[in-house]
Amino acid sequence: MLSVACDPVKTIVTAALPFSYSAPHLGNFVGSVLPADVYHKFLQMRGADAIFICGSDQHGTQAELKALREGVTVEELADRMHNNIKGLFAKYECGFTHYGRTDSESCKELTYEFFNALNKNGYIIESEAMQAYCNFDKRFLADRFIEGECPYCHKSHARGDQCDDCGRLLEPDQIIRPHCSICGKGDIGFRKVRNLAIALDKLQDRIEEFVAEASKNNWTKNAVNKPLSFIKEGLRPREITRNMRWGFPVPMKGLEDSVFYVWFDNLVSYIGITREWDPGRCESYWKGKDTEIVHFMGKDNIEFHTILWPAYLIGSQLGYTMPKTIRASENLTLKAGKWSKSRGVGIDMATALGILDADYWRFLLMHAYPETADSELSASMVEETVNKLMNGKIGNLLHRVLTIANQNSGLVGKSARIAVDYKGAFNSCLSKYEESFERMRMREALASLLALADLGNTIMSETEPWALARKGDKEASERFSSIMGTLLVVSYSMSIMLWPFAPRASETALGYFGAGRPDFKKLYKARDSGIAPNINKDFKPIFTKITKEQVEELRQYKL
């Protein structure tokens, strides 16, 4: 059964910070920001004390590389892309408590706060490394300016810091047959440079203890297995500085030409962005004993959040709360291969909005959410989801119920309630919906919403209320009132449950019932006391079928 009160805790929901060098594609979106937003909306419906923190990852070599290619400063590119990406998320109805940026003053302060604490506690060490140098461009190359073959999985698109195919963190000198991503040439040498590193080996036992204990709190399997595998191999010091320009300068003599590596300031920016939102409340969340931190990300970010981030938190001894839950998705795949803007494979968030509205993408992406295994996005899957599920099961049911009720308002009655015959099935759908969200299984929660729509459609086809209305006798009228009462409560509840997945459609549907913002109290009331069927006569379908032209347009992007 639905619970009446939520737990008295604070919850911080985060999504892996999107890089600010290009618009995210739909695979990026469903990998972190979208499920985080869906879960946060559920918490809002529950009345929980929850904040949703995210922001643009401004630093990093990809931004610097793109700026070089466009002939603009990296600051200009980062500003422009931050505003574009923030605007895109707004169009997709992402309800961040605060969407910041990692180059802000508050994030800079946090970066130095963590660095100084780690250094004071003996976890920052000096290291000498061989940094790549392009003899053609006459410049040192940051890790992501180097591409080549991965030494582990031997895929050909590994970068100098990570292989996206196998997820391993790499060092530039491990890359097989490296080439410079600026000029494309392989005339690369390695020169000795001085760097700083975090001594992960000194923190290994405590990191392992954290993973073993925290992973009991609803972590995805991949978020558990990957760090344990890396720990078993033995953690080594990991460099946190690079000889480059774009980033926060390292405050140490002899390292004036170095900045902090992106995966240092990026992670502490979760706190920095919260501080930027509200300096006074930041500490009550991030240092609160009753705070639960939930991180959403794609599986390529697992090692950073389960090894490096805990290392910073543990080693700094600054009293910040450790993460409770790590939710790492698998990959949203394409038949044509890996997402690639240059090859026209896949579709970015901005382009997608030119084909279908945001509600459609939110719903169908969560229906395909690669929660526990890879799933495939295709034009045919989009067509089937929109036409059969969104329009067919949900939209048509709502429209038919409202139309019949409106046309026979005198027979509906002043109060709509669930008939005894259907109460068990109805309560089961609502309970599974809430239980799935509590386990952070959003795809299952959506399945429970669809199950409720199935219940309504089954009742409609088996009882034929329009025929009962035409009979006109007392028995038929009473049966009609009972059936329509059930269908109205089902449709009303379905409209509330739709909100995390398709907020605009949900709010439109609830407007037809004269209801405001969706929340669980309204679900409880509908379940226990029924609803007053205050139906707005001017209503339209909340979803429509996708056209053949739209499907063909999707196929142009190799979907």
Show the domains of the chain with their CATH numbers: 10-115+265-353 (3.40.50.620), 119-243 (2.170.220.10), 358-529 (1.10.730.10)
| Predicted local distance difference test score (pLDDT) of residue 190 | 85
| Predicted local distance difference test score (pLDDT) of residue 4 | 42
**Per-residue DSSP letter, 138:** T
| 56, two tokens | 């643009």
> Alpha-carbon Rg of the chain, whole angstroms?
26
HSE-CB of 528 using CA atoms within 13 angstroms: 10
Helix (H, G, I), strand (E, B) or coil at 15: strand
| 14, two tokens | 């985060």
Q: How many CB atoms lie within 10 A of CB 255?
A: 17
Kindly tell me the burial class for residue 134, based on how many C-beta atoms sit within 10 Å of its own C-beta (0-12, 13-18, 19 or more): buried
Global pTM value: 0.91
315-326 CB burial, b ≥16 within 10 A, e <16? bbebebbebbbb
Amino acid at 273: I
- 96-101-104 Cα angle (round to 5): 130
Sheet with strand 98-101: strands edge to edge: 98-101, 49-56, 10-15, 291-298, 325-329
Residue with tokens 């939102």, as numbered in its chain:
277
**Structural contact between residues 419 and 527, judged by C-beta atoms closer than 8 angstroms:** no
| Predicted local distance difference test score (pLDDT) of residue 468 | 93
Q: How many CB atoms lie within 10 A of CB 225?
A: 13
Name the packing angle between helices 200-214 and 309-316 (round to 10°). Answer: 110
HSE-CB of 432 using CA atoms within 13 angstroms: 16
* Helix segments in 408-547, DSSP class H: 409-412, 420-438, 442-463, 465-471, 474-497, 503-512, 520-529
Going 108 to 111 to 112 to 113, the CA torsion angle's sign is positive
Backbone angles phi, psi at 56, to 5 degrees: -80, 135
| Predicted local distance difference test score (pLDDT) of residue 343 | 66
CA neighbor of 57 nearest in space, from 88, 103, 8, 12 = 103
Partners of 188 in the β-ladder:
134
| Predicted local distance difference test score (pLDDT) of residue 7 | 54
Distance CA(532)–CA(415), nearest Å, equals 5
pLDDT in tens, the chain (559 residues): 454 445 568 999 999 999 888 889 999 999 999 999 999 999 999 999 999 999 999 987 777 778 888 889 989 999 999 999 999 999 999 999 999 999 999 999 999 999 999 999 999 999 887 778 888 888 778 777 789 999 999 988 888 888 877 878 788 888 999 998 888 888 888 888 889 999 999 999 999 999 999 999 999 999 999 999 999 999 999 999 988 788 999 999 889 889 998 889 999 999 999 999 999 999 999 999 899 999 999 999 999 999 999 999 999 999 999 999 999 999 999 988 778 666 678 899 999 999 999 999 999 999 999 999 999 999 999 999 999 999 999 999 999 999 999 999 888 888 899 999 999 999 999 999 999 999 999 999 999 999 999 999 999 999 999 999 999 899 999 999 999 999 999 999 999 999 999 999 999 999 999 888 899 999 999 999 999 887 767 788 999 999 999 999 999 998 9
